[in-house]
Amino acid sequence: MKPTVLVTGATDGLGKALAAELAGMGARVLLHGRDQERGEQTLAELRAQTGSETLGWYRADLSSLAEVHGLAGQVAAEHERLDVLVNNAGIGTTLPGDGRRMESADGHELRFAVNYLAPFLLTRLLMPLLVGSAPARVVNVSSAGQAPIDFDDVMLERRYSGVQAYCQSKLALVMLTFDLAEELGENGVTANCLHPGTYMPTKMVFAAGVTPHDSLETGVRATARLVAAPELAEVSGRYFDRLAEARAHPQAYDLEARRRLRELSERLTGVAAPLSTRLPVEGNGGWGAASRASSPRGARWARLVARVVAGMCRAGAADLSVRLSEHERIVRPGSLRQRRGHASRGGRRRGSSSATGRGGSGTRTSVRRALLLCAGTPRAAAASV
Ligand SMILES: NC(=O)c1ccc[n+]([C@@H]2O[C@H](COP(=O)([O-])OP(=O)(O)OC[C@H]3O[C@@H](n4cnc5c(N)ncnc54)[C@H](OP(=O)(O)O)[C@@H]3O)[C@@H](O)[C@H]2O)c1
């Protein structure tokens, strides 16, 4: 079966060239862009260039969180699987705004919104589909241009520069990648990020008045490798500078900074991490640790349930983010009960049986909740626990 790959920002530059490369390799490529006309034009061009008949097109302006929701919902509704999500779309240091601070439709600093918050939300919303398609990959196109986030002025209201805005957004994307790798651990989804090339000849580089250095082919090769290379199938949580593994900015390895960014992002998008590493789970250091510690049977069960949730997403019955938080509870069985103090006597928690692959009452309850949500009855689902 052809792998399905969603490439954001595929109407120009690296994204367009990457989409052509992947389609040529036989993938079903879902092109994303913000402009309908450019999208249709790109679709026609790539069809002629690659002979692919399985290209798809999706329009969404990533400077609007509502449009990110729409994009995720449409992809989940139309595809049974998503093997790779490439978060490539981005805006550079000068275009748009020419050095002037701008805001997104939701009132967030524009580069932070498009380059970071949109991929944060899109990835979270598509996670059930990715987990249900495992083994799957998330590839985040970051940059070597990274600057630490000042948590007292994330939106750069006090002192703005396009370079700072771009570089902090790209470091935030690296931090997201490292979190995703931990969270998705045993669920069969890897997350890696890269600096695709230095000053490749694209719109954002020309707009900044910089003389190109690397070829577009350099970026395509490095990104396509993270998408498809068999030797990277189990590699996760890494940052690459083109083809070589590299160290990101030190803040990316600062767990406290990552926690602050994650919490801020959840607040700004209204979507909680479905596989959060924050909440403790029976016998483990945290949700991420629970994932790593669960048995292969448990992981297989979690994937099965995730497929159910992905199917629900496609059914389009209830709000995707609500269902995503259901997914959180399902793939971390027992968590809901634990948070409500339902631990059974003798130290075992009733909802935890599926973590060992037995799919007991806690899991059945979760699935029931999921199915009720599928039917669009979140209240009844909540009451069922
Ligand atoms: N070029 C480099 O040397 C370089 C170096 C390091 C990292 N990168 C990263 O590589 C990625 C691709 O950049 P590129 O150089 O190929 O730039 P590009 O040619 O300007 O392409 C950027 C893509 O993102 C899309 N996009 C921008 N804003 C959007 C929005 N609000 N909603 C939806 N889509 C939007 C653009 O759509 P339109 O076609 O409508 O404009 C375009 O398809 C970026 O993440 C960039 O930061 C590039």
CATH number for the domain harbouring residue 183: 3.40.50.720
141 and 243 share a domain? yes
295 and 229 share a domain? no
251 and 373 share a domain? no
- Picking from 239, 269, 299, the residue at the C-terminal end of a domain is 269
Nearest atom within ligand 1 for CA of residue 198: 3
- Picking from 238, 269, 300, the residue at the C-terminal end of a domain is 269
In a domain, 229, yes or no: yes
126 and 237 share a domain? yes
Whether the CB-CB separation of 124 and 271 falls below 8 Å is answered with: yes
Q: pLDDT per position in the chain (385 positions), as tens? A: 899 999 999 999 999 999 999 999 999 999 999 999 999 999 999 999 999 999 999 999 999 999 999 999 999 999 999 999 999 999 999 999 999 999 999 999 999 999 999 999 999 999 999 999 999 999 999 999 999 999 999 999 999 999 999 999 999 999 999 999 999 988 999 999 999 999 999 999 999 999 999 999 999 999 999 999 999 999 999 999 999 999 999 999 999 999 999 999 999 999 976 554 333 333 222 212 223 333 444 455 555 555 555 555 444 433 434 344 444 444 333 333 333 333 232 222 222 222 222 333 344 344 433 433 333 333 333 332 2
Token couple for 36: 């309908």
In a domain, 33, yes or no: yes
105 and 214 share a domain? yes
In a domain, 275, yes or no: no
What is the pLDDT at residue 1?
83
Token couple for 219: 């970026």
**Full DSSP string of 46-61:** HHHHH--S--EEEE--
What is the pLDDT at residue 228?
98
236 and 375 share a domain? no
Catalytic residue among 58, 116, 166, 239: 166
Residue range of the domain that includes 84: 4-269
153 and 265 share a domain? yes
81 and 222 share a domain? yes
233 and 374 share a domain? no
What is the pLDDT at residue 276?
43
Which strands sit side by side in the sheet containing 56-59, from one edge to the other? Answer: 56-59, 28-33, 4-7, 84-87, 136-141, 189-195, 238-241, 244-246
Ligand 1 pocket check for 167: Cβ under 6 Å: no
C-beta atoms surrounding 12 within 10 Å: 16
Integer Cα distance of 11 and 38 in angstroms: 6
The residue assigned the tokens 């979190």 is 179
215 and 309 share a domain? no
What is the pLDDT at residue 186?
83
Nearest of 177, 197, 192 to residue 252 by alpha carbon: 177
User: What's the residue count for the chain?
Assistant: 385
What is the pLDDT at residue 277?
36
291 and 349 share a domain? yes
What is the pLDDT at residue 322?
39
Nearest atom within ligand 1 for CA of residue 62: 32
Token couple for 274: 């479905």
Distance of CA 359 to the CA centre of its chain: 28
What is the pLDDT at residue 343?
29
What is the pLDDT at residue 326?
42
321 and 186 share a domain? no
**HEC letters along 321-377:** HHHHHHHHHHHCCCHHHHHCCCECHHHCEHHHHHHHCCCCHHHHHHHHHHHHHHCCC
In a domain, 260, yes or no: yes
Ligand 1 pocket check for 117: Cβ under 6 Å: no
What is the pLDDT at residue 319?
42
91, 163, 220: residue to mutate for ligand 1 pocket, most atoms within 8 A of CB: 91
- Picking from 226, 246, 269, the residue at the C-terminal end of a domain is 269
Whether the CB-CB separation of 82 and 6 falls below 8 Å is answered with: yes
This prediction has a pTM of 0.79
HSE (side-chain half, CA atoms, 13 Å) at 287: 24
Integer Cα distance of 32 and 43 in angstroms: 10
In a domain, 274, yes or no: no
Nearest of 152, 42, 145, 157 to residue 94 by alpha carbon: 145
Total count of domains within the chain: 2
116 catalytic per annotation = no
Nearest of 291, 187, 177 to residue 226 by alpha carbon: 177
Gap from CA of 8 to ligand 1 centroid (Å): 9
What is the pLDDT at residue 174?
98
Tell the residue nearest (CA) to atom 42 of ligand 1.
Answer: 9
Gap from CA of 202 to ligand 1 centroid (Å): 8
